[in-house]
Amino acid sequence: MASTSRAAHERYLDAFHQRWAALDGPFRPGFPPLSPKRDLGLDLDSSPDPDGLVPRTSERLHSGPHVAPQLEALIPTSLWQDGAEIDSQTASQWASGLLDRALQRLSVRPRDVVVVCGMGLREAGLIVNVYRVPGVDEVALDREFRIVITRPHRGSTWQRRMVGGREVWWSAPPANSPDHDPGFHVAFWVADACVVHVAGDEDRIEAAIPMLP
């Protein structure tokens, strides 16, 4: 059964952003939800699904690798109305060149790093990643992950923002950008040897931050 690879996750992120741009704002009622299974060709469940949609009744999908269930539990499924697919794998399995090069600079083996991915089963309004990088101080993680985490808008920068009593790095689309999209934002922060990365609607991110580690 296929796992949610880094490449697939990035294609999902790209499709998510394109849909935001097409709608010029939050998802509207009745608009077909983005399905990772249908739109990426991922085998996200083992049951027949002729319409290519993940069943609404599933709270959490257990199809991907689960090398760190205790870290997966840090991402509440309640962040998504219709449940979530949450899995975990080592950085070796994740296979991100940017992450691997950052880990090399930090003298950390990819097999010792865990990446947890969370996304909605039937909605694309929020994506959450947690990177567990042992033995590295917060200053170094903060520096390196400003390179690792993609800012999906040309000309966007990282800015400090206080959300729910937590200071985070935040990237918003620049107002004068040709691909300006007021609905798609990216944020991350470092806590307890973990880097938490969220992407999506500004309001969804702000609501999610206090619920995450």
pLDDT tens per residue across span 163-208: 999 999 999 987 765 555 566 899 999 999 999 999 999 999 999 9
- Contact status, residue 85 vs residue 119, Cβ threshold 8 Å: yes
Residue 168's contacts (CB-CB under 8 Å, 6 or more residues apart) are 160, 161, 162, 187, 188, 189, 209
Q: Does the pLDDT value for residue 154 go beyond 80?
A: no
* Residue 88 bridge partners (DSSP): 66, 116
Top mean-pLDDT range of 20-34, 47-61, 141-155: 141-155
Residue labelled with tokens 């040897």: 193
> What's the pLDDT band for 153 if we cut at 50, 70, 90?
confident
Distance in angstroms (rounded) separating the CA atoms of residues 85 and 183: 22
- Contact status, residue 122 vs residue 114, Cβ threshold 8 Å: no
pLDDT of residue 139: 97
Three-state SS letters, the chain? CCCCCHHHHHHHHHHHHHHHHHHCCCCCCCCCCCCHHHHHCCCCCCCCCCCCCCCCCCCEECCCCECCHHHHCCCCHHHCCCCEEEEEEEHHHHCCHHHHHHHHHCCCCHHHCEEEEEEECCCCCEEEEEEECCCCCHHHHHHHHHHHCCCCCCCCCCEEEEECCEEEEEECCCCCCCCCCCCCEEEEEEECCEEEEEEECHHHHHHHHHHCC
Q: Does the pLDDT value for residue 1 go beyond 60?
A: no
Q: Does the pLDDT value for residue 142 go beyond 80?
A: yes
pLDDT tens per residue across span 70-111: 999 999 999 999 889 999 999 999 989 999 999 999 999 999
List the Cα angle 134/137/139 in 5-degree steps.
Answer: 135
pLDDT of residue 180: 52
**How confident is the model over 142-156, as a mean pLDDT?**
88
Phi and psi at residue 120, in whole multiples of 5°?
-70, 150
**How confident is the model over 3-17, as a mean pLDDT?**
47
Q: Does the pLDDT value for residue 36 go beyond 70?
A: no
Distance in angstroms (rounded) separating the CA atoms of residues 98 and 115: 14
Report pTM: 0.72
pLDDT tens per residue across span 37-60: 333 333 333 333 333 333 333 344
- Contact status, residue 179 vs residue 153, Cβ threshold 8 Å: yes
pLDDT of residue 52: 33
Q: Which residue has the higher pLDDT, 54 or 139?
A: 139
Top mean-pLDDT range of 26-35, 56-65, 89-98: 89-98
